[in-house]
């Protein structure tokens, strides 16, 4: 066939029909061989990625199939080289070429995704292997999958990529070990960083890994892109899902102390039903700032049926909500 038609253009419709038939039937290994014969490198790379994820239920299995990612990268590299060769001026590709085409920038972007997925795979394969061999019954955040039995990869949409970043962040011996790779995933795919941090923080709190939450806060603070408000919001969100039982009180208090903003710290105390510390912080502020916060404490006290705090808050509000004229009109003791 190649001798009669080196470009394969004249039999392209038959080749494409064969590819479609093989894909419908799920004969992907035959499809891959045909794509190689057709030198359809983009589609061959896509098939390699399918082989990489096919049937895997963990990153241990993905690690064993990562050779397909290396092959996908080679196909894209070959495509780029051929594009550059044509760009040198000898021959332009046919507009109606049956081979899938893609811009050089898109190919480079996909190659970067494959590179990063390879790094993620090596890291999580190592972590999951170590976990399964040392503590096979341990319950760790890394063991949670995204929506189905298939492990999340960077070839999915943004929600799946967020799960990959979270999985990497929680996968190592400590948060710092995986944070660098997770941060690259966030940056490369322009993910909402706070969404990743909050998801990771929630899982750590539910597992009562409060020391790891502090590590996460440290890494986030040192990332260079997060603000103090971001860290405060992360703590407040973590407290919202924490068990407020007595056994966790000391750890939760320690997290609250990490909060920089007074207003957020008061909200955190209220979230943990610690009304007195919230009130004491609020009344230290200027009355114009303190008023709404004391009102929040009063509402929480009413909800908790805490008559003592209700009276304290009501007294403060009645005292400080008076106008300057009312204060001046008080009788002066003689």
* 178-217 pLDDT, tens digit each: 999 999 999 999 999 999 999 999 999 999 999 999 999 9
Between these two residues, 87 and 270, which has the higher pLDDT value? 270
Of the candidates 113, 114, 163, the one whose C-alpha atom is nearest the C-alpha of residue 142 is: 163
Spatial CB neighbours of 155, under 8 Å, sequence gap ≥ 6: 49, 53, 113, 117
Distance in angstroms (rounded) separating the CA atoms of residues 43 and 222: 41
pLDDT higher than threshold 50 for residue 2: no
Pair 274, 258: CB distance under 8 Å: no
Res 132: pLDDT: 80
Count other C-beta atoms under 10 Å from residue 232's C-beta. Answer: 20
Distance in angstroms (rounded) separating the CA atoms of residues 317 and 296: 11
First to last CA, the chain: 117
Please give the average per-residue pLDDT across 115-136, as a whole number.
89
CA distances (Å), 124 to each of 36, 167, 241, in order?
31, 8, 27
Percentage of the chain modeled with pLDDT above 70 = 84
Spatial CB neighbours of 226, under 8 Å, sequence gap ≥ 6: 193, 194, 197, 220
* 296-329 pLDDT, tens digit each: 999 999 999 999 999 999 999 998 875 444 444 4
Between these two residues, 1 and 165, which has the higher pLDDT value? 165
Res 148: pLDDT: 52
Res 85: pLDDT: 77
pLDDT higher than threshold 60 for residue 165: yes
Q: Give the lowest-confidence range in 52-56, 95-99, 266-270.
A: 95-99
What is the DSSP annotation of 56-87?
Answer: --SHHHHHHTTHHHHHHHHHHHHHHHHHHHHH
* 22-59 pLDDT, tens digit each: 999 999 999 999 999 888 999 999 999 999 999 999 99
Distance in angstroms (rounded) separating the CA atoms of residues 76 and 62: 20
């Amino acid at each position: 066939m190649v001798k009669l038609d080196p470009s394969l253009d004249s039999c392209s419709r038959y080749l494409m029909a064969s590819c479609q038939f093989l894909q419908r039937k799920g004969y992907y290994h035959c499809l891959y061989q045909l794509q190689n014969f057709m030198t359809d490198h983009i589609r061959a790379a896509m098939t390699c990625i399918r082989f990489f994820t096919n049937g895997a239920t963990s990153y241990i299995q993905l690690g064993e199939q990562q050779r397909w990612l290396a092959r996908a990268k080679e196909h894209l590299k070959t495509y780029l080289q051929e594009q550059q060769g044509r760009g040198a001026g000898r021959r332009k590709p046919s507009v109606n070429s049956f081979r899938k085409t893609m811009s050089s920038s898109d190919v480079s972007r996909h190659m970067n995704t494959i590179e990063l997925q390879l790094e993620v795979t090596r890291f999580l394969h190592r972590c999951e292997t170590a976990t399964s061999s040392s503590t096979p019954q341990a319950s760790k955040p890394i063991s949670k999958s995204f929506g189905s039995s298939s492990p999340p990869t960077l070839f999915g949409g943004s929600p799946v990529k967020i799960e990959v970043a979270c999985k990497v962040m929680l996968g190592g011996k400590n948060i710092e070990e995986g944070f660098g790779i997770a941060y690259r995933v966030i940056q490369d795919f322009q993910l909402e960083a706070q969404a990743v941090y909050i998801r990771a923080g929630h899982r750590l709190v539910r597992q009562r890994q409060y020391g790891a939450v502090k590590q996460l806060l440290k890494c986030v603070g040192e990332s260079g892109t997060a603000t103090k408000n971001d860290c405060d919001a992360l703590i407040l969100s973590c407290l919202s899902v924490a068990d407020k039982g007595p056994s966790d009180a000391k750890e939760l208090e320690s997290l609250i102390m990490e909060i920089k903003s007074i207003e957020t710290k008061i909200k955190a105390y209220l979230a943990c039903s610690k009304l007195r510390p919230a009130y004491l912080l609020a009344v230290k502020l200027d009355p114009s700032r303190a008023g709404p916060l004391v009102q929040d404490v009063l509402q929480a006290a009413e909800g908790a049926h805490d008559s003592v705090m209700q009276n304290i808050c009501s007294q403060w509000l009645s005292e400080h909500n008076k106008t300057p004229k009312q204060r001046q009109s008080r009788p002066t003791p003689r």
